[in-house]
Amino acid sequence: MNKNISSILKTVSKPGRYSGGEYGQIIKNKEDVKLRFAFCFPDTYEIGMSNLGVRILYGVLNEEKDVWCERVYDPWMDMQQKMREHGLPLCACESGDPLTDFHIVAFTLQYEMSYTNVLNMLDLAGIPLRSEERGDEFPLIVGGGPCAYNPEPVADFFDLFNIGEGEEMLPELCRLYIQMKEEGRYSKAEYLHEAARTIPGIYVPSLYQVTYHEDGTVRAYTPIYDDIPTKITKRIIKDMDRAYFPDKVVMPYIETVHDRVMLEVFRGCIRGCRFCQAGIIYRPVREKSPDVLNEQAKCLFEFTGYDEISLTSLSISDYTHLEELTDQLLEWTDENMVSLSLPSLRVDSFTKELMDKIATVRSSSLTFAPEAGTQRLRDVINKNVREEDLLRAVNVAFEAGKNTVKLYFMSGLPTETYEDIAGIAELASHVIDAYYRCPSRNKAKKPQVTISVSCFIPKPFTPFQWEAQDTLESLAEKQEFLGSKITDRKIRYTHHDAKVSRIEAVLARGDRRLAPALELACREGFMFDAWDECFDYDRWISVMERTGVDPAFYANRQYGLDEVLPWDIIDCGVSKDFLRRERDRAYAGNTTPNCREHCSGCGANKLGGEQTCCPKAKN
């Protein structure tokens, strides 16, 4: 830990966020490494320490003997104030060294509302915000993660982006850096050109000129060199059984969001929910075998001692060997009082047998996501679940003695009507009725149904990427209308702040012309905008007005179907034609089968790998 930082720990909340020295951290001799890599999570320690992707990439980079990867998190507001008062720079957890001592500083971009945190962390570190202002004496700034699929709003602040999965790509970046340094031919400009030219999945924004039409839409992306790709195709790990997975993790001193073993079961999704970006960008499906998963779980349990194992994926009930895996895990988790958590269950796959397995040690409420209140709208969004599926699933839970259910919905979806919104309240009432009709219910307890309603945000690389978001006024009216329809005290209604969703839509669908607004937001102290207590909609609108940004142009405008989209420079593996076809099917009210039932030709199989979304699909 940095000695200067340690002197102010007693004056801030949760000093364990900054103390370092955790069990499981990786320390290397600086004299033995050729490249120092700072992996930054642009949010608090508790959130970043729970991110599985960070754990994987931290481990895989430190497998390189001459590379030392360290962790960096965004200090909370009280710590930032003390750091600025004392002139202390942002430092890494392991060595306590400032970020300016590193060769590469990388940020994982998990959600758009963290963009101001990224810039704030650079500012705390004493690193110029814009790439063009950083000479060879500064670290390279790298971005990745799901938001990198539309990197344009923050393109001016990053030297390069890695598009897709980083386990192979990031070590390749490091090896190229070391090679060019040793050969005496390194300069930032030469390195960026060489990386863009030779490493698939690397996007260097400064090497592409963007032009615009008079109406403000994008005209074209033009590479400034002939030997770099016109489109950047995402990278994937083809064989998940051979993919790196840590058998040790850094153990925090303080409570984090997920104090449990996180076991990654598979990547990708066979479903095709038309609002869901993750279900598209993480295709194709690639599973791990039960034997590999069981051994990985054992290793992490023995190292951590955690009493819970969470089986993580986009839809755990779609894992083809789920029964075999849970049977293997239960052979040793029961006797060790370790509970299994399956956080992404679908109602149409929830069974009594599964319920019995996950409730062996610890009982809790169940969460399902119908997403829409009527079957018509569920067909539009291709949810492919019916009300009877939900009622069957909750009956299984009620028969097992549970009395609380949480249901997730979305407001503002394309084609939504007030009848669809009223259907949310009706569906919740039907769940309450199902409880009282269940003869084996826990009669000592009353049922409790919580409905949580978020606002639809049109995200890149979805069939709804072209759609306009509802106006704030419309979303507010729909939220109030739904509230008026809920009269049963056994139904609890919560909804997201529509103002946050509007800014998120601007950042999700934006282009490079948002950079001045983000830079001004940083200069004016914006931070932790994903936190309710820090977000200020009026300040955001003021910043955009002063930098010439019209939020409605990005959030509330229907993009043209033939328009060049800001993210068209990226190839996520799924074709634009497929997304267009899915949009057409949505407006026709037609559903699309999941990928195991029928291959719909999304294009993801061209990325290769032994496994594909659909066994019948051809590469």
548 lies in a domain?
no
Residues 317 and 181 in one domain: no
Identify each DSSP E strand in 152-285 by its residue range: 160-162, 202-203, 208-212, 218-223, 232-233, 261-264, 266-267
Would you say residue 610 has pLDDT above 60? no
Q: Which tokens sit at 368?
A: 């399902």
pLDDT by residue (tens digit) across 556-566?
999 999 999 99
Residues 265 and 158 in one domain: no
Positive/negative CA dihedral, 582, 576, 454, 345: positive
Domain boundary among 218, 233, 248: 233
**Per-chain mean pLDDT for the chain:** 93
pLDDT by residue (tens digit) across 388-423?
999 999 998 898 888 999 999 999 999 999 999 999
pLDDT score, position 609: 47
* Contact of 510 with 554, CB cutoff 8 Å: yes
608 lies in a domain?
yes
250 lies in a domain?
no
Q: How many CB atoms lie within 10 A of CB 519?
A: 18
Would you say residue 438 has pLDDT above 70? yes
Residues 338 and 193 in one domain: no
pLDDT by residue (tens digit) across 277-309?
999 999 999 999 999 999 999 999 999 999 999
Residues 223 and 273 in one domain: no
Residue carrying the six token digits 């060489």? 194
3-state secondary structure at position 459: coil
pLDDT score, position 443: 84
Residues 228 and 303 in one domain: no
Arithmetic mean of pLDDT, 580-590: 97
Q: What is the rounded distance in angstroms from the CA atom of residue 581 to the CA atom of residue 382?
A: 13
Position 619 confidence tier, pLDDT thresholds 50, 70, 90: very low
Q: Which tokens sit at 266?
A: 């598979």
3-state secondary structure at position 97: coil
252 lies in a domain?
no
Position 361 confidence tier, pLDDT thresholds 50, 70, 90: very low
Domain boundary among 233, 249, 282: 233
Residues 183 and 222 in one domain: yes
Q: How many CB atoms lie within 10 A of CB 369?
A: 19
- 235 forms beta bridges with 164
pLDDT score, position 363: 52
pLDDT score, position 342: 82
Q: What is the rounded distance in angstroms from the CA atom of residue 219 to the CA atom of residue 170?
A: 32
Arithmetic mean of pLDDT, 93-121: 97
* Contact of 119 with 527, CB cutoff 8 Å: no
Would you say residue 345 has pLDDT above 90? no
CA–CA distance from 595 to each of 37, 273, 612, 615 (Å)?
39, 12, 9, 8
pLDDT score, position 594: 93
Residues 189 and 276 in one domain: no
Q: Residue 117 is part of which domain span?
A: 3-233
Positive/negative CA dihedral, 584, 586, 591, 592: positive
Residues 207 and 312 in one domain: no
**Can you give the pTM of this predicted structure?**
0.94
Residue 88 half-sphere exposure toward CB, CA atoms < 13 A: 22
Contacts of 148 (CB under 8 A, 6+ apart): 109, 161, 162, 163, 203
Would you say residue 617 has pLDDT above 50? no
Q: CATH number of the domain at 184, please.
A: 3.40.50.280
267 lies in a domain?
yes
3-state secondary structure at position 401: coil
3-state secondary structure at position 265: coil
Arithmetic mean of pLDDT, 245-270: 92
3-state secondary structure at position 286: strand
Position 340 confidence tier, pLDDT thresholds 50, 70, 90: confident
Residues 170 and 104 in one domain: yes
Position 618 confidence tier, pLDDT thresholds 50, 70, 90: very low
Q: What is the rounded distance in angstroms from the CA atom of residue 204 to the CA atom of residue 163?
A: 11
* Contact of 566 with 577, CB cutoff 8 Å: no
Question: 218-223 and 208-212 as β-strands: parallel, antiparallel, unpaired?
Answer: antiparallel
Residues 133 and 221 in one domain: yes
Residues 274 and 321 in one domain: yes
Q: CATH number of the domain at 309, please.
A: 3.30.750.210
What is the phi/psi pair of residue 178, to 5°? -60, -45
426 lies in a domain?
no
Identify each DSSP E strand in 496-573 by its residue range: 570-571
Q: Which tokens sit at 146?
A: 């799901």
Arithmetic mean of pLDDT, 462-475: 97
Residues 116 and 161 in one domain: yes
* Contact of 147 with 112, CB cutoff 8 Å: yes
- Number of domains composing the chain: 2
Residue 435 half-sphere exposure toward CB, CA atoms < 13 A: 21
Arithmetic mean of pLDDT, 365-374: 89
534 lies in a domain?
no
431 lies in a domain?
no
Residue, of 401 and 47, whose pLDDT is higher: 47
Position 444 confidence tier, pLDDT thresholds 50, 70, 90: confident
Contacts of 396 (CB under 8 A, 6+ apart): 350, 351, 352, 355
